[in-house]
Amino acid sequence: MSEGIGARVLRREDKRFITGSGKYTDDVKNDRQCYAAFVRSPHAHARVKGIDKSAAEAMAGVEGVFDGHQLTGDGIGNIICGWAVTSKDGSPMNMGAWSALATEFVRYVGDAVAVVIADSPANAKTAAEAVEVDYEVLAAVVAPDKTLESGAPQIHPEAPGNLIYDWEIGEKDATEAAIAGAAYVCEMDITNNRVAPNPMEPRSAVATFDPSEDHYTLYTTSQNPHVARLVLSAFYQVAPEHKLRVIAPDVGGGFGAKIYIYPEEIVCLWASMKTKRSVKWTSDRTEAFLTDAHGRDHISTAKMGFDANNKIVGFQVDTIANLGAYMSLFSSSVPTYLYATLLSGQYNIANIHANVRAVYTNTTPVDAYRGAGRPEACFLIERMMETAARELGVDPGELRRANFVQEFPHQTPVIMAYDSGDFEANLDAAKAASDWDGFEARRSEAASRGKLRGIGMSSYIEACGIAPSAAVGSLGAGVGLWESAEVRVNPVGTIEVLTGSHAHGQGHETTFAQVITDRFGIPHDNVQIVHGDTDKVQFGMGTYGSRSGAVGMSAIVKALDKVEAKAKKIAAHLLEADEGDIVIENGEVKVAGTDKTLGWHEVCLGAYTAHNLPEGMEPGLKEGAFYDPSNFTFPAGCYICEVEVDPDTGTTEIVQFVASDDFGTIINPMIVEGQVHGGIAQGVGQAMLEQAVYDDSGQLLTGSYMDYTMPRADDLPSYTVSHETTVCPGNPLGIKGCGEAGAIGSPPAVINAITNAIGNNDLSMPATPSKVWAALQASSMKQAAE
Amino acid sequence: MYNTNYHRAESTDDAIAKLGASDDGKFVSGGQTLIPTMKQRLAAPSDLIDLCHIEAMKGITIDGNQITIGAATCHADVATSKELAAVCPAICDLASHIGDPHVRNMGTIGGSIANNDPAADYPSAMMALNAQIMTNKRTIDTDDFFTGMFDTALEEDEIITAVTFPAPAKAAYSKFPNPASRYAMAGVFVAKLKNGMARVGVTGAGSDGVFRHEGMEEALTSDWSADAIADASVDEGDMLSDLHGDAAYRANLVKVMAKRAVEKAG
């Protein structure tokens, strides 16, 4: 089956993407379209004393200038966080109010206070500059530990001391006792750096209000258009759900940043109603740096205790998570249920306790970014495992092996029940592929060239297939996390699949069609995948958390089961055979063991002519299904990074990167490898290049590519990627998911390798040349002192 | 970008006339700094007077030992000139590492020098090669030309027409790029002139823009080798410090790049 499951089918969507024929939100052009420009706060924290719109209103081409008082006056609701996390004392989280246009206070640089609608982008921007906002500048705080100090500026009245919640998981007393009795305790302070997501396509929205129908259409850069419609309607009261169509057409990358509903979409919809004009807004790159939800930004202290046999006896973590100036849609869940629940890693740990304090600061809101909580957990665990191995004087791979979970299912002390895996297989495959045992010879050879060579590994696990609805509901989620699909078989036998998943670079149009091809043996070209339009697809939860294979495709399989069952009934009737004897293969419907056969298209046509259907059967061949997963899925693997450091400049070159992953069943290995490559690139970016930096007054210093370092081709090696598969027992295709693994597993492997090379374990991300050089100076000074 | 009026100058006189006729005009010579700045609405000249199409300001001429590069010559032309590579390959190498292909085909040597961005590559080469900057009014020694960060000796109505310098005996440029922008964090151009004098131009690192390192020049004049500058001191107090690297790191980079440049020059 050359186009079915497991085939390297070329991405059909690439024809339009690489020829510039994609249709993105900013490509939408409506009659009498206007443009929005936002008036944004230049201050990280200020009281808004007044807004003078008169000069802007009088300017050329201006259709309207609106502020937050008008917005709230029209009943537009505050932006909310949709996951309720409860503090350990039982109190609800302290969520501050977030109006799409700020009224009394601005809380980060970029906070929108007004919007100008004008007939051209230039006129809108020029008029926005003419809106005079009278600010009383207030003290700001940007660091997650500083914001908790007494005397820190108070950011939201709802959150005293800037504390959003103080949450814990696991058994504190037992964990402390286990660590107290440990033969060896590894202790580390670990920072997980704040990064900006940077999808290639900036966010954009085009909102059109049709007064004759009281109907709104929103084109937007969303990973989940149905969730956007639900939230815009139910919580922000922008428009009733049945009067709002949300379309997320081609979307150029998301990485999490396009999950959330931002002020701009809300304001465009509302302004379209106010002006009776179609309103477009497209972010520029600096606006993207300022307003797209950032990722990570944790500071943690951790203790991991080992017994005399090097078995982990307890792991305790204290984390402060910076959520920025406002609580974005899923922000609360990231440093709790997507983070602390993964702190067992690949290891059998009887006692784990984590305490997480989420805090407000005067910075851009922080939410899920590729990996979302799991990279932060993985970085902690894998940095500590490597450090422990060094301090104990044992091989890092063998320390991991001695602690691996070996039997499944495995219940961790932090909610997750691992269903399958073979962690040793990944470790052994990665060690073999990297020639781990030959490293010392390579290190010596590098030394002869004046280079410091180092090697590091990371054994990651993550939780994908997000998520069982009842389980996440019990943990505070405001939505269920199932997926839907509809399979429409046309009378000629071609098929349209409507999915609630959303592709923004993942290649769903190719991989999803492979599942249908595999099932019925019809050509890949005869299958069309439809997504991203609330008028076409009934409902869907969208794409994030590596869920589209494990959850989205499972919904398609459920719908295919129903289609197949009906097609077999029709075929059995037409062929005068027993339904149980009908098989569908290679585009034919046959009676097993006979030469009685019908073409797939003949059965489909029969369903629609309805001339000769079984007694009582409805015409047509179209089925829908909702799939709610029974458990998370657990992709896992082992990554090995090998580097050479130039001691004169601190420049690190990655000379080898090996990934051995277990993603369960793989539909299209080429696309999966691409996901791993991209994920590692983002992980390397976080580890060596990327950081969103604020000065103490809250100004973002990395507001453009002049100062924010994105990974480029020459920063990255050629990867060695392979798979050791254990099939996921929880879903029909056995899929675990692959979208985030690279970004989760790679940062600790990189830092473990660099610290191994330079002989100084005190190195934070991003390990820029200047930081590596400084670490080298510190270690050589230390050596000189000794 | 705000609205602006674009003019193509036919000659330096025409350019100056057009500048004089504008409200708040600006010369543009490739625009690889100015246009992005305008796009960000951080600059708003009423008029742009484009110097890149003045024929007399284009091209590379080599007259015996003397090299002259027209101010409107783009980086790509400098990078790929076989004639220039035969007498001063170091300047071709420098030009081949400015920006990306787009920048190299739009940006010009005159534009780069006139802007005197503290992280631009060409000023270090002009310093080290002891170039003279020729304008529509006069000829300026390079030591007098660069007067500080984004500042030069150029007058308001003065246009660089060419740069000229003698072919060096040996020269090379070594640059440590800023990880984000890929501009020089420290770029050192070393030249051993045919009169025996060594000159060292440093860009990217200095808090007052491009500068010559006299200590290294003296050491290299007496002994043209990387070892000769191994103990050279670079004053951290004169270095830039920012989120990409502090002054100590930049001072180190200047030394390392200088040594590498000398090794590269052979």
Rounded mean pLDDT, A215-224: 98
- Closest partner residue to A649 among B176, B181, B183, by Cβ? B176
Confidence of residue A198 (pLDDT cuts 50, 70, 90): very high
Instruction: Tell me how many residue pairs between chain A and chain B have CB atoms under 8 A apart.
Output: 47
Average pLDDT, chain A: 97
As a whole number of angstroms, the distance between CA A175 and CA A355 comes to 12
Asked whether the predicted pLDDT for residue A194 surpasses 60, the reply is yes
Are A552 and A501 in contact by the 8 Å Cβ rule? The answer is yes
Average pLDDT, chain B: 97
Tell which of A142, A648, A700 to mutate to test the B interface (max B CBs under 10 Å).
Answer: A648
Res A137: pLDDT: 98
* Subunit contact B249:A773, Cβ cutoff 8 A: yes
- Ordered by where they begin, the domains of chain B are 5-50 (3.30.43.10), 62-166 (3.30.465.10), 170-265 (3.30.390.50)
Task: Give burial (CB, 10 Å; 0-12/13-18/19+) of A494.
Answer: middle
- Ordered by where they begin, the domains of chain A are 14-138+200-253+258-291 (3.90.1170.50), 298-466+631-785 (3.30.365.10), 482-627 (3.30.365.10)
* Subunit contact B252:A708, Cβ cutoff 8 A: no
Res A786: pLDDT: 73
Cα nearest neighbour of B99 on chain A? A706
B256 interaction partners in chain A (CB closer than 8 Å): 648-649
* Subunit contact B256:A706, Cβ cutoff 8 A: no
Asked whether the predicted pLDDT for residue A224 surpasses 90, the reply is yes
Cβ of residue B181 closer than 8 Å to a chain A Cβ: yes
Rounded mean pLDDT, A158-184: 98
Rounded mean pLDDT, A354-358: 98
Give A689's DSSP letter: I
Position of tokens 């919904």?
A555
Confidence of residue A686 (pLDDT cuts 50, 70, 90): very high
Res A783: pLDDT: 78
Cα nearest neighbour of B250 on chain A? A770
Cα nearest neighbour of A702 on chain B? B243
Determine which helix (DSSP H) or strand (DSSP E) holds A527, and give its type and residue range: strand A527-530
B245 interaction partners in chain A (CB closer than 8 Å): 768-770
Are B220 and B228 in contact by the 8 Å Cβ rule? The answer is yes
Cβ of residue A412 closer than 8 Å to a chain B Cβ: no
Res A693: pLDDT: 98
Res A392: pLDDT: 98
- Closest partner residue to A708 among B40, B180, B183, by Cβ? B180
Asked whether the predicted pLDDT for residue A1 surpasses 70, the reply is no
* Subunit contact A707:B1, Cβ cutoff 8 A: no
Confidence of residue A85 (pLDDT cuts 50, 70, 90): very high
- Closest partner residue to A770 among B2, B245, B256, by Cβ? B245
Tell which of A129, A645, A649 to mutate to test the B interface (max B CBs under 10 Å).
Answer: A649
Q: Long-range contacts: B25-31, Cβ < 8 Å, 24+?
A: B25/B49, B27/B51, B27/B114, B27/B159, B28/B52, B28/B111, B29/B71, B29/B72, B29/B108, B29/B110, B29/B111, B29/B114, B30/B74, B30/B106, B30/B107, B30/B108, B30/B111, B30/B112, B31/B106, B31/B107, B31/B111
Distance from CA of A777 to the nearest CA of B (A): 10
Rounded mean pLDDT, A757-769: 97
Distance from CA of A67 to the nearest CA of B (A): 23
Distance from CA of B8 to the nearest CA of A (A): 24
Asked whether the predicted pLDDT for residue B60 surpasses 70, the reply is yes
* Subunit contact A769:B179, Cβ cutoff 8 A: yes
Asked whether the predicted pLDDT for residue A784 surpasses 90, the reply is no
Confidence of residue A782 (pLDDT cuts 50, 70, 90): confident
pTM over 0.90: yes
Res A460: pLDDT: 98
A709 interaction partners in chain B (CB closer than 8 Å): 179-180
As a whole number of angstroms, the distance between CA A413 and CA A336 comes to 14
* Subunit contact B2:A126, Cβ cutoff 8 A: yes
Asked whether the predicted pLDDT for residue A526 surpasses 80, the reply is yes
* Subunit contact B243:A701, Cβ cutoff 8 A: yes
Of A96, A67, A92, nearest to A80 by C-alpha is: A96
Cβ of residue A759 closer than 8 Å to a chain B Cβ: no
Res A347: pLDDT: 98
Confidence of residue A779 (pLDDT cuts 50, 70, 90): confident
* Subunit contact A769:B41, Cβ cutoff 8 A: no
> For chain A, what percent of residues have pLDDT higher than 70?
100
B248 interaction partners in chain A (CB closer than 8 Å): 774
Asked whether the predicted pLDDT for residue B221 surpasses 80, the reply is yes
Res A675: pLDDT: 97
Rounded mean pLDDT, A412-430: 97
* Structure ipTM over 0.90, yes or no: yes
Confidence of residue A515 (pLDDT cuts 50, 70, 90): very high
Confidence of residue A785 (pLDDT cuts 50, 70, 90): confident
Res A2: pLDDT: 84
Cis bond before residue A102 (omega within 30° of 0)? no
Asked whether the predicted pLDDT for residue A264 surpasses 60, the reply is yes
The 3-class secondary structure across chain B, one letter per residue, is CCCCEEEECCCHHHHHHHHHHCCCEEEECCCCCHHHHHHCCCCCCCEEEECCCCHHHCCEEEECCEEEEECCCEHHHHHHCHHHHHHCHHHHHHHHCCCCHHHHHHCEHHHHHHHCCCCCCHHHHHHHCCCEEEECCCEEEHHHHEEECCEECCCCCCCEEEEEEECCCEEEEEEEECCCCCCEEEEEEEEECCCCCEEEEEECCECCCCEECHHHHHHHHHCCCHHHHCCCCCCHHHECCECCECHHHHHHHHHHHHHHHHHHHC
Of A253, A552, A776, nearest to B256 by C-alpha is: A776
* Subunit contact B179:A705, Cβ cutoff 8 A: no
> For chain A, what percent of residues have pLDDT higher than 90?
98
Confidence of residue B164 (pLDDT cuts 50, 70, 90): very high
Task: Give burial (CB, 10 Å; 0-12/13-18/19+) of A92.
Answer: exposed
Res A649: pLDDT: 98
Residues in chain B: 266
As a whole number of angstroms, the distance between CA A446 and CA A433 comes to 20
Cβ of residue A120 closer than 8 Å to a chain B Cβ: no
pLDDT tens digits, A612-629: 999 999 999 999 999 999
* Subunit contact A707:B243, Cβ cutoff 8 A: yes
Confidence of residue B1 (pLDDT cuts 50, 70, 90): confident
Distance, C-alpha A694 to centroid of its chain:
23
